[in-house]
Amino acid sequence: MAPMSSAASGADRDRGTQAAVRLAEFFRVATSDVDQAAEQVGRIFCPHDLRPLCKTAEGFYATHNCAAFDGFSINYVAYGGSVAINPGCLERFFLVQLPLSGSTRIRTGSREFATDPDATASLLSPTLPTRMVWEDCAQLILLLDRRVVEQRAAALSGKSVRPVEFNPAIDLTAPSARALQASMHGLVDLAEGLGAGHRVSAVAAADWREGLLDLLLTRQRHDLSEAIRTFSGQAETLPRTLMRARDCLQAYATEPLDMERLAQAAGIGIRALQLGFQRHFGTSISDMLLDIRLAELNAKLMAASPDARIIDIAFDLGFTHLGRMAGAYRQKFGEAPSATLRRLH
């Protein structure tokens, strides 16, 4: 990576005063050369076309700082001048782009909108082609591994893993967006506090990842939102009987299914309980129990150390037949348990 001249670096610092540069210790890219910026930023995110909209490219610069964690990263990215960015489909990841200064115009899928620091951020899905124009813009960008997001969506919705596409415009005045915004700034503060020479613990990184996934999948709109609401019982007011039954099912998820105990906890008959689960959750009791166990297995594998034994985790969660467990896991999450364990380490 060719260093910038001191003059160019100084000019960039002057231009960067419109928004304080974040994650400075996590420097990856700083250049005023367009081709170099496209190549270097493309290696971190994905290959893309980068084109200044002024013929002379006067005022152009690119800065990219990145703190990486297991399955996600927090980034500070800034471009000087007006630049067109065409990444096409992101393919491997989701991006939450929180503007700090300047503005962007975004076209993704069939949607077209503008962002600015006071009103609107963006959430880009990997399967939707995207084009952007950044105008003297600096943003915090949260990158989340596509597989991590899709697997968690599958766990929450009771469905097999599939592409997830979000509403790309985030209203920054909404409480859910303010929570996401605060979480992103908190992650930046954490990384800066630790410094580039120190890594956050695996447990802390897993906690952050869980919190971010929850903010995205339960509080931002996407095409599995209703399925998640139905499977969690939020789509309508649940009868207390079913609330007690679901709580009991989760509390004893590591034990063999006991329909009599479940019906007794609910205070209704077994048949009424079965019909209630189908109506209110859209699934059978046994399928929900399997989903609870598989979701917990997925979460534990993502948080486990690389030398963890899958057999031990599976047995602790109530799985007694490893072959059937592995087949059900692959059908739901699209990969073997061992692949999930390896991917984040």
**Residue 32 backbone phi and psi in degrees, to 5:** -110, 10
Within 10 angstroms of residue 308's Cβ, the number of other Cβ atoms is 14
- Which letter, b or e, does each residue of 329-343 get, where b requires 16 or more Cβ atoms within 10 Å of its Cβ? beebbbeebeebbeb
- CA dist 286 and 249 (Å) reads 10
Task: Tell me the per-residue pLDDT of 300-328, one tens digit each, with 9 for 90 and over.
Answer: 998 888 889 999 999 999 998 999 999 99
Which residue stretches of 140-224 are H helix? Answer: 146-157, 175-194, 202-219
Structural domains for the chain = 6-227 (2.60.120.10), 236-343 (1.10.10.60)
* Residue 203 near residue 303, CB atoms below 8 Å: yes
Q: Which residues contact 71 (CB under 8 A, 6 or more apart)?
A: 144, 145, 148, 209, 302, 343, 344
pLDDT, mean over the chain:
90
Tell me the mean pLDDT in the region 234-250: 84
CA angle 21, 25, 28 (to 5 degrees): 85
- Beta-carbon contacts of 271 under 8 Å, excluding residues fewer than 6 positions away, are none
Which residues on neighbouring strands pair with residue 207, listed in sequence order? Answer: none
CB 167 within 8 A of CB 225: no
Question: For residue 97, what are its two tokens?
Answer: 């782009």
Cβ atoms of 276 and 285 closer than 8 Å: no
pLDDT of 14 higher than 70: no
Contact between 345 and 70 (Cβ < 8 Å) = yes
Percentage with pLDDT > 70 across the chain: 93
What is the model's pLDDT at position 54? 81
* pLDDT tier for residue 4 given thresholds of 50, 70 and 90: very low
Candidates 43, 11, 47, 46; CA nearest to 28 is 43
**What tens digit of pLDDT does each residue of 156-179 get?**
998 999 999 999 999 999 999 999
With beta carbons less than 8 A apart as the criterion, state whether 341 and 206 touch: no
Q: How confident is the model at residue 7 (pLDDT cuts 50, 70, 90)?
A: very low
Q: What angle in degrees, to the nearest 10, is found between the helix axes of 322-333 and 146-157?
A: 110
Q: Is the pTM of this model over 0.75?
A: yes
pLDDT of residue 236: 65
pLDDT tens for 195-214 read 998 888 888 999 999 999 99
Please state, in angstroms and rounded to a whole number, the distance separating the CA atoms of residues 57 and 55: 6
More confident residue, 288 or 55: 288
pLDDT value of residue 201: 87
| Whole-number Å distance between alpha carbons of 162 and 337 | 17
Which residues, 6+ apart, have CB-to-CB distance to 157 below 8 Å? 224, 227, 228, 231
